[in-house]
Structure 1
Amino acid sequence: MSDTSLITHLRHIDVAMPNFAEQRRFYTELWGLTESHGDTGVSFLAAEGSPEQYVVRLREDAHKRTDLIAFGAADVADVDTLAARLMAQGVRLVHEPRAIDTPGGGYAVRFFDNEGRVVEVSADVAPRRHRTIEARESVPVRLSHVLMNSPTPEATVAWYIKYLGFRLSDTLCVGGRGEIMWFLRCNTIHHSFGIVRGPHAAFHHASFELRGVDEFMRGTGRMRRMGIERLWGPGRHRAGDNSFSYFLDRAGNTVEYTTELEVLDEDTWHPHLYDLRDPANADQWGTANEMDEFIAAKSHNDVAPGLFVAPPM
């Protein structure tokens, strides 16, 4: 596989759940996303500051599952090149490159990763009219990053580096217990994707970028006042140097407000290994509640159904 990544950025995360109406209300009325398109049992949710047609797709289903993770490519030729490389390497496709009929259209290939998650890479998607987020406006600017749990994280990290051209930014460990979290990038942003050591393959968390620290704190406070279950934060991570506040959505998925995620110099950056036994590596500010195994377990999420099974849309 070429060392050159054909992936440019993260587009959206698509999830399904039985309590669709409740989830839709959470993300639009509380979390701050805007429904850009919708139909019976499906909702496409945009971030006001992002040109992406949507950053979250909700779909009603009898079972909770992650439908797919979507990334962008520069043009249709890159989608074709990536698909050809994947097929030559024996990666199983969901479908070959073709026109897609989701909002904004475009041209995409879908395939399974090594653990059976569905990944989409698309190009030529029409941008959405978006706007500048104003001071003190605590709604997401964009989807920042998505992390996934894996029972075989070393192999999964290696797969995304080998086949999709991701680069390792930093790794977290816990002393002699070994490495537990890997942050991967496809551009100069510290991470848009990552893998967490977990008991099973599942969604770990999705993070949404706010305008600045003031807007981040206002959003954090709004969630707390509304009684949304808080897992961890507010604080500031060492890896990525970003602020964090983690909550649970109505289906038990972990979602994060963040801001100021680090932008790297590709020519000089070298990955770090941060040991979480030093509390400053988890939270530089020292303001967050203490992380423990019970809080962490909530982000392990439910066992992902439908691995190596394509979503219905």
Structure 2
Amino acid sequence: MTQRLITHLRHVDLAVPDYAKQLDFYTGTWGLTAEHSDTGVSFLAAEGSPEQYVVRLREATDKRIDLIAFGAATAADVDTLAGRLAADGVQLVGEPGDLQTPGGGYGFRFFDNEGRTVEISSDVATRTHRKIEVGESIPVRLSHVVVNSADPEGTRAFYEKHLAFALSDTLMHPRMGEMMYFMRVNSWHHSMAIARGPHPSLHHASFELRGVDEYMRGTGRMLRAGVEKIWGPGRHKAGNNTFSYFLDPHGNTIEYTTELDVLDEDTWHPGLHDFSDPEVTDQWGTANAMDEFVARKSFNDVDKGLFVAPPV
């Protein structure tokens, strides 16, 4: 088995045409903090996270995922990963080197099997962060990122082979087959998931809140602000996490969650969950039904950034 050198999820970077509107939403409504911003680029931190930022917004003509970033423990691990990927024929965007983003560090970027830009980095300076207080309904950290894939089996195989991601659980349907793979890089149930979709795109980005009370307060705050809710509040079976899904101003699905399972990786065996059973999608029974409307919203637009590295 390939040694796992990825340690954790760092951030997800989004490019959008209406940058000002997106920035106002993520800072004024969603609860992130803008730091290290420049003209047309903002780095948004979660107050409870040591990561320099968990979302980067960039002004662009086309809506796209700029990149998904993961951490590694050391520069030597970064070099090992870059060498392993190159030897396997994976297209690198550039060789490992010093990063010019907040916190610095050492890293490189590559294209995955469907053309998403992925960054691996080490030695990024930690951000001064704080404990989120009781009742404070803002994100503690970026929990996970879910991508749509036109070839979910191939995408799962890519991340397993090249980056030693492990399968935690599979979501399936009796008629449609296997629909989502929950993948982990540490003991969190999933840092990334791969959903079957019509095209590669962002399915959703999920943000962890302090606890169930803060999660419900955050859900209510979004509803009072008039943010479009597409699914929730409820609690999934796979991962056992709570969920409330909303749309950002550009139609990206984003989630408030909490209490994602932490696994004993030595003893965990992946499960197969049939989402035609209502308790699989929502143990509580409080969310609206998972239907074609919800699924269609999460398909998102075709990503315009495939096999095109972001300029920054």
TM-score in terms of structure 2 length: 0.99
Amino acid at match of 1:306: G
Cα separation, 1, equivalents of 2:61 and 2:154: 31
Q: What's the counterpart of residue 210 of structure 2?
A: 211
Q: What's the counterpart of residue 164 of structure 2?
A: 165
Cα deviation per residue 1:69-125 (whole Å; 9 max; x = unaligned)?
A: 000000100000101111111110001100011000000010000000000000000
1:174 aligns with 2:156: no
- Overall identity of the aligned pairs, in %: 69
Give the Å deviation of 1:67. 0.4
Q: What's the counterpart of residue 128 of structure 2?
A: 129
Give the Å deviation of 1:295. 1.6
SS in 2 for 1:256: strand
Cα deviation per residue 1:239-263 (whole Å; 9 max; x = unaligned)?
A: 0000000000001000000000000
Cα separation, 2, equivalents of 1:277 and 1:253: 25
SS in 2 for 1:289: coil
Cα deviation per residue 1:162-185 (whole Å; 9 max; x = unaligned)?
A: 001100000001113201011000
Cα deviation per residue 1:172-214 (whole Å; 9 max; x = unaligned)?
A: 0111320101100000000000100000010110000000000
Q: What's the counterpart of residue 280 of structure 2?
A: 281
1:310 aligns with 2:309: yes
SS in 1 for 2:308: coil
Cα separation, 2, equivalents of 1:43 and 1:160: 28
Cα deviation per residue 1:124-183 (whole Å; 9 max; x = unaligned)?
A: 000000000000000000000000000110000010000011000000011132010110
1:150 aligns with 2:149: yes
**Superposed counterparts of 1:240-279, under 5 Å:** 240-279=239-278
Instruction: Indicate the RMSD between aligned Cα atoms, in angstroms.
Output: 0.6
Q: What's the counterpart of residue 116 of structure 1?
A: 115
Q: What's the counterpart of residue 88 of structure 2?
A: 89
Amino acid at match of 2:174: G
Cα separation, 2, equivalents of 1:165 and 1:67: 23
Cα separation, 2, equivalents of 1:210 and 1:306: 30
SS in 1 for 2:68: strand
Cα separation, 1, equivalents of 2:294 and 2:168: 25
Cα separation, 2, equivalents of 1:99 and 1:11: 17
SS in 2 for 1:93: coil
1:223 aligns with 2:191: no
Give the Å deviation of 1:238. 0.2
SS in 2 for 1:233: strand
Q: What's the counterpart of residue 99 of structure 2?
A: 100
Q: What's the counterpart of residue 238 of structure 1?
A: 237
Q: What's the counterpart of residue 31 of structure 1?
A: 30
Amino acid at match of 2:44: L
TM-score in terms of structure 1 length: 0.99
Cα separation, 2, equivalents of 1:271 and 1:12: 26
Q: What's the counterpart of residue 189 of structure 1?
A: 188
Cα separation, 1, equivalents of 2:284 and 2:303: 34
1:62 aligns with 2:32: no
Amino acid at match of 2:243: F
Amino acid at match of 1:165: A
Cα separation, 1, equivalents of 2:72 and 2:237: 29
**Superposed counterparts of 1:15-30, under 5 Å:** 15-30=14-29
SS in 2 for 1:224: helix
Amino acid at match of 1:248: L
SS in 1 for 2:171: strand
Q: What's the counterpart of residue 9 of structure 2?
A: 10
Cα separation, 1, equivalents of 2:236 and 2:45: 26
Cα deviation per residue 1:205-240 (whole Å; 9 max; x = unaligned)?
A: 000000000000000000001110000000000000
Give the Å deviation of 1:306. 2.5
Give the ranges of 4+ consecutive aligned residues of structure 1 lying more than 2 Å apart after TM superposition. none
Cα separation, 1, equivalents of 2:143 and 2:166: 17
Cα separation, 2, equivalents of 1:100 and 1:155: 30
Unaligned segments of structure 2, at least 5 residues: none
Paired residues in the alignment total 312
Cα separation, 1, equivalents of 2:189 and 2:9: 12
Cα separation, 2, equivalents of 1:176 and 1:268: 31
Give the Å deviation of 1:267. 1.2
Give the Å deviation of 1:3. 1.8
Amino acid at match of 2:181: W
SS in 2 for 1:94: coil
Cα separation, 2, equivalents of 1:37 and 1:288: 38
Cα separation, 1, equivalents of 2:157 and 2:10: 22
